[in-house]
Amino acid sequence: MPPQSLNCCGEHLAKLRASHKPPLTQELLATKVQRLGLDIDRAAIAKIETQKRRVYDTEIIPLAKALGVNPLTLLTGE
């Protein structure tokens, strides 16, 4: 039985982070998001990317802002 995915944006988050100019490590992304007021660490970013952690609606906008993308991009990959 395949493991249950706990979010729909983890894969998109990982791709956006890697394609960011310059590429962001999970630690750098966590730092950028923390500066926007969201208490999140590198381990949480890793769990989101591997779909082992849920993403709360209040986390979508700061994550998107830190990556410089529209929040819908995190949800859809487009």
pLDDT, tens digit, for every residue of 44-60? 999 999 999 999 999 99
Preceding peptide of 22 cis, ω within 30°: yes
CB 48 within 8 A of CB 13: yes
Cα 64 to Cα 1, 3, 4, 55: the distances in Å are 32, 26, 24, 12
Q: What is the pLDDT of residue 3?
A: 66
What's the whole-model pTM score?
A: 0.89
Q: What is the pLDDT of residue 74?
A: 93
Q: What is the pLDDT of residue 77?
A: 85
3-state secondary structure of 67: helix
Superfamily of domain 10-76: lambda repressor-like DNA-binding domains (1.10.260.40)
| Domain locations in the chain as residue ranges | 10-76
The one-letter amino acid code at 50 reads T
Q: What is the pLDDT of residue 11?
A: 94
User: pLDDT tens digits for 18-48?
Assistant: 999 999 999 999 999 999 999 999 999 999 9
